[in-house]
Amino acid sequence: MHPLLNDAGDIRIAQQTGRVTAKLLAPIDSLLLVLPENARAEVWRSLPQAALLQAAAKKRSSDATPALLARLANKRQTLVVGGMLAVNSTAFEQLSFARKMVAAATAEKAGCLGICVQGFDSAAQAAIVKNVLAAALAAGFAMPSYKNKATPATIRSIKMIGLARKIDVNRVRAEANGNNLARWLTTMPPNKLDAVNYTEIVRSIAKDKGWQYKRFSSKELEKLGAGAFLAVAQGNENDSACMIRLRYRPAGKKSKADLCLVGKGIIFDTGGTNLKPFLSMLDMHGDMQGSAVALGSLLSISELGLDMAVDCWLAITENRTGPDAYKSQDVVTAANGKTIQTIHTDAEGRMALADALVLASRDKPGMIIDYATLTGACVNAITTRYSGVFTNRAEWHPRLKRTGQNCGERVWPFPIGKEFLEELKSDVADLQQCSAKGSGDHILAASFLAEFVENDTPWVHMDLSASDHEGGLAHIPTKVTGFGVRYTLSLVLDEKILDT
């Protein structure tokens, strides 16, 4: 693994079935206690120091917000943060609740974090425990920091106690590792994660995980006719822009990919010749989050050892200003031979993705998912609480939406199609890059991208409007959310989209 990634740490996880005892609580610094709304008396009586906890709970407000209940009368003075959950609460509600619980606990005490969920049936208990664990693993991860004084770890170990049965946490751990990688890369400053460093990090991870790695340089992409991607890259001061293809192949798996992940990797976006204003450019080092989510999803799949062949394409470049940068009204040719009239140089993401989708679909994978922080129009349509999804299989819309509801990374489907290409007609090329009018740009961008998916490959495009959300989202405590890793695993494992 690349040395910069060693800060991730390795939080120890233990679990204990059976009755919750004072002995089990003794080594725990902070305990997250989750009970159902209107918990029965016997639920309270099953807990050590029940009278203390129940009395504290009665004094707090009636809403469901997690709150400090008490400090137990033991050697560690275990801090108890408790809250009530509705039995029928959604995944998103559980994850959001868990994030708030973990934040309250770690603000007071670091060290060993306990998770105790009582009063639910075994299936509901397991689901809630996993969601609280996901929040703890997100909060306990060390994000990039360049301060002289290192930030101490808030969570060193996690103990899940009072379980009705043992819980398989491998998926929770793998999803957390994938999400943490995506957030870590996205948060890195642009002078620390330039194209050269990004490529080296990806190469190091590939070597560590046993993935096939291939870097396509600008010269190689020129031979492949990837003029849309190269138009964006031509403003760079060096020749570091590239596409990377990764391949995960379990032992004995066929060479053709069951799934292909494609990510937009614009490591800094000035807007190009159509320069962004200050506030719009401030966080544009995060415009590569789509590629980070693709990479994080591949990491999760690989760590779980899933029996599927997966390809991953990362389109990595900057979108810079300068005398060589591409301009409005340029005409370029994409890898599938279609000509594109450029309209706005800040619509660079769809240009980079267009060629990546051509190259990815030519390998005839079973399905393609691409991820991109693509349009402000999607944020305007659904806010930063949801991400938009688009597909060339309209009958999948209910399944895509259901997956988001089930995993807590919520999405909203939008239509695409030839009718929307009426807005992208060009007098000098096969199609325009975008419409100068700007309305419905998320739909136009996805309809544009669909023109570069070959062989009628089943395809889902995720416009990551929820990539950044102030204060965190669901179980993620940071503004950068890494949205999409958890969704991808749920789409593959729970919705079984690849079996269609």
Task: For residues 61 and 18, give the distance between their C-alpha atoms in angstroms, rounded to a whole number.
Answer: 30
Let me know whether 146 and 196 are in one domain.
no
CATH number of the domain encompassing residue 345 = 3.40.630.10
pLDDT number for residue 61: 55
SS3 372: strand
pLDDT digits 0-9 by tens, 374-403: 999 999 999 999 999 999 999 999 999 999
- Tell me the residue range of the domain where 480 lies: 174-499
pLDDT the model gives residue 163: 98
Report how far residue 193's alpha carbon sits from residue 239's, in angstroms, rounded to the nearest whole number: 15
311 vs 26, 182, 344, 357, 359, CA distance in Å?
A: 47, 17, 31, 12, 11
CA distance linking residue 315 with residue 352, whole number of Å: 6
**pLDDT of amino acid 4:** 47
Q: What is the pLDDT of residues 312-359, one digit of tens each?
A: 999 999 999 999 999 999 999 999 999 999 999 999 999 999 999 999
Instruction: Give residue 500's pLDDT.
Output: 83
Both structure tokens of 394: 């309209």
Do 130 and 187 sit in the same domain of this protein? no
198 with 139, same domain: the answer is no
Residue 124 shares a structural domain with residue 199: no
Helices (H), 153-304: 170-187, 195-209, 218-223, 227-233, 278-281, 289-304
Tell me: do 190 and 86 sit in the same domain. no
Residue 276 annotated to the active site = yes
Do 251 and 324 have their domain in common? yes
Tell me the C-alpha to C-alpha distance, in Å, between residue 191 and each of 186, 194, 225, 285.
12, 6, 30, 9
Structural domain ending residue among the three candidates 167, 183, 207:
167
Same-domain status, 150 and 225: no
| Total domains present in the chain | 2
- Render 429-476 in DSSP notation, one character per residue: SSEESS-SS-TTHHHHHHHHHHTT--TT--EEEEE-TTSB-TT-BTTB
CB 186 within 8 A of CB 289: yes
Q: Are residue 228 and residue 147 in the same domain, yes or no?
A: no
The pLDDT of residue 318:
97
C-alpha 285/C-alpha 293 separation (Å) is: 15
Q: Domain ends where: 138, 167, 196? A: 167
Q: Any idea what the CATH number is for the domain that residue 133 is in?
A: 3.40.220.10
> Three-state secondary structure along 105-134?
HHHHCCEEEEEEECCCCHHHHHHHHHHHHH
- Which pTM does this prediction carry? 0.96
- List per-residue pLDDT tens for the chain, 500 residues long: 454 454 445 799 999 999 999 999 999 999 999 999 888 889 999 999 988 888 888 776 555 677 777 899 999 999 999 989 999 999 999 999 999 999 999 988 779 999 999 999 999 999 999 999 999 999 999 999 999 887 778 899 999 999 999 999 999 999 999 999 999 999 999 999 999 999 999 999 999 999 999 999 999 999 999 999 999 999 998 999 999 999 999 987 778 999 999 999 999 999 999 999 999 999 999 999 999 999 999 999 999 999 999 999 999 999 999 999 999 999 999 999 999 999 999 999 999 999 999 999 999 999 999 999 999 999 999 999 999 999 999 999 999 999 999 999 999 999 999 999 999 999 999 999 999 998 999 999 999 999 999 999 999 999 999 999 999 999 999 999 999 999 999 999 999 999 98
420 with 282, same domain: the answer is yes
Same domain? 373 vs 400: yes
Q: Distance of CA 318 to CAs 252, 259, 266, 284, Å? A: 38, 27, 5, 10
> Which residue among 350, 410, 479, 486 is the active-site one?
350
Q: Are residues 146 and 194 in the same domain?
A: no
| Stated length of the chain | 500
Predicted local confidence at residue 241, as pLDDT: 97
Q: Indicate which residue of 156, 276, 338, 402 is catalytic.
A: 276
Do 183 and 161 fall within a single domain?
no
Cα(463)–Cα(88) distance, integer angstroms: 29
Query: Is the Cα dihedral 174, 176, 178, 184 positive or negative?
Result: negative
Domain boundary among the residues 142, 167, 192 is at 167
